[in-house]
Chains A and B, each alone.
Chain A
């Protein structure tokens, strides 16, 4: 079957709304998992990440795909959203990542400008699972006191993230996806402590 014949949302209006609320709640409550609408994704995209793409992308958005992402995912996104692709991570509104170990450094994406910090890249990070053996403690807006995560994100990511948050309001906002779940990491989420797992 051709990739483009794979359907998008079963109910485009309400599935996009449900997924938007999951993305919104994820950013508003960093560290708390949310659930997107379900769909059958193309090879290379997690269901929740595919749902986020259908919800956020259209002709007005420029997308950077990590080169490891399959051609069928690319043609599915083009067919269903009409988004533009770029090979330059600095010009991307959204970046889809599926191998975090070999992703570009965070400062290779667009952090916005002092007057328009919103003109930044949003990261859509696909993970095998949202739970992992590395612990991170976050604080910031959306978090009452602090929140502890057990996450597969490792030291190199958190080091870069911490360096990035020192440049607030410049920075990146990220969502992590696995299966139908999503976790939000707005640029305001500051690392208050962490410990590498085994």
Chain B
């Protein structure tokens, strides 16, 4: 009589025909080497040889390649797009990684070990051990001043960031404030100017001294950069015009939060509109908690 072997409990198996996480090992190694340099030189962009992915640019191929090089069998992945887990982009990327890794996925920020994001940082504070991967369309903060990559590299080398301040100050002179609502530039560890990807200004303060490791991947531009945990990140500003974040006059319509980033939603063709949390996981959890609390409050 033979005993049938006990299968170890593991997440769903990846589909056959793919290497784990889709990328071949040679490609992962080269991306991993770039990611390690990125962590050692916070905010500095490291070139890497970007691969074709089974999705088009603009769908976060840079972030996807970084995630594919970092992810392991024990990870639990969350994917958000503009704060939501259920948009087409987020669903597709989550499905892709389930298929090629067989890993667990979640919509809850606190359960995730790895979070791939486009355009938001979750409202739930991140913790030590978590890794955020940002999808970056355009990594170079000097591009609007110096389109040549070689020249921009020289400016970074010399810390020649004066022209960026001049440009921002022109905004203040013309509009009375800095008109940049997204992808607002930051200084990292008092040394490198960095674009935080198109997150709203509201999220910039969360970059600073965050306990999680933050990795940024730009597929088309073939760049990786990083913020190690507990790294100083300062949004550019001026003594007479300090950096400020967006605020709203009303709380979230669904959960009542007054300290979150709100999206405007048009509810009918009369132009009625609501303001609701852009972070759907955070908003849902608050609604559940509010519901539980209601009887004791009344």
User: Quick check: which of B76-84, B228-236, B252-260 contacts chain A, the rest being far away?
Assistant: B228-236
A24 with B41, Cβ < 8 A, contacts A14-B20, A142-B230 known: no
Q: Does A101 contact B (CB under 8 A)?
A: no
**Which residues, 1 to 41 on B, are CB-close (under 8 Å) to A?**
19-20, 25-26, 28-30, 32-41
A92 to B228, CA, bound (A): 25
Chain A minimum-CB-distance residue to B38: A118
Categorize the interface residue count of chain B.
35 or more
Q: Is the CB of A117 within 8 A of B228?
A: no
Q: Chain B: residues with CB nearer than 8 A to chain A?
A: 19-20, 25-26, 28-30, 32-42, 44, 46, 69-73, 150, 153-154, 156-158, 189, 191-192, 209, 211, 213, 227-232
Using Cβ atoms and an 8 Å threshold, which residues of chain B touch A13? 19-20, 25
Q: Does A46 contact B (CB under 8 A)?
A: no
Closest beta carbon of chain A to B183's beta carbon, Å: 22
Q: Does A77 contact B (CB under 8 A)?
A: no
Q: Does A62 contact B (CB under 8 A)?
A: no
Cβ 8 A contact of A114, one of B70, B73, B157, B227: B157
Using Cβ atoms and an 8 Å threshold, which residues of chain A touch B150? 115
**A-B contact sample (17 more), CB < 8 A, given A17-B73, A142-B230:** A13-B20, A16-B28, A20-B70, A56-B29, A56-B32, A56-B33, A56-B36, A114-B158, A118-B41, A122-B36, A141-B230, A141-B231, A142-B228, A142-B229, A142-B231, A144-B209, A186-B39
A27 with B36, Cβ < 8 A, contacts A12-B25, A141-B231 known: yes
A122 to B160, CA, bound (A): 28
Q: Is the CB of A117 within 8 A of B44?
A: yes
A25 to B42, CA, bound (A): 14
A-B contact pairs, 29 of them (CB 8 A): A13-B25, A14-B73, A16-B25, A16-B28, A17-B73, A20-B28, A21-B70, A27-B36, A27-B39, A55-B32, A56-B36, A58-B26, A58-B29, A60-B30, A61-B33, A115-B156, A117-B44, A118-B37, A118-B46, A140-B189, A141-B230, A141-B231, A142-B231, A143-B230, A144-B209, A169-B191, A169-B192, A173-B37, A186-B39
A25 to B35, CA, bound (A): 11
Using Cβ atoms and an 8 Å threshold, which residues of chain A touch B213? 24-25, 28
Q: Is the CB of A188 within 8 A of B70?
A: no
Closest beta carbon of chain B to A90's beta carbon, Å: 18
Q: Chain A: residues with CB nearer than 8 A to chain B?
A: 12-14, 16-18, 20-21, 23-25, 27-29, 55-56, 58, 60-61, 113-118, 122, 140-144, 168-169, 173, 186-188
Q: Is the CB of A21 within 8 A of B72?
A: yes
Chain A minimum-CB-distance residue to B20: A13
Q: Is the CB of B229 within 8 A of A29?
A: yes
Using Cβ atoms and an 8 Å threshold, which residues of chain B touch A113? 157
Cβ 8 A contact of A141, one of B25, B42, B73: B42
A16 to B23, CA, bound (A): 13
Closest beta carbon of chain B to A195's beta carbon, Å: 24
Chain A minimum-CB-distance residue to B230: A144
Chain A minimum-CB-distance residue to B29: A58
Closest beta carbon of chain B to A162's beta carbon, Å: 17
A28 with B44, Cβ < 8 A, contacts A115-B157, A116-B153 known: no
Closest beta carbon of chain B to A82's beta carbon, Å: 10
A113 to B158, CA, bound (A): 11
Closest 8 CB pairs of A and B: A114-B157, A186-B40, A118-B37, A142-B228, A141-B231, A115-B153, A173-B40, A141-B228
Using Cβ atoms and an 8 Å threshold, which residues of chain B touch A25? 213
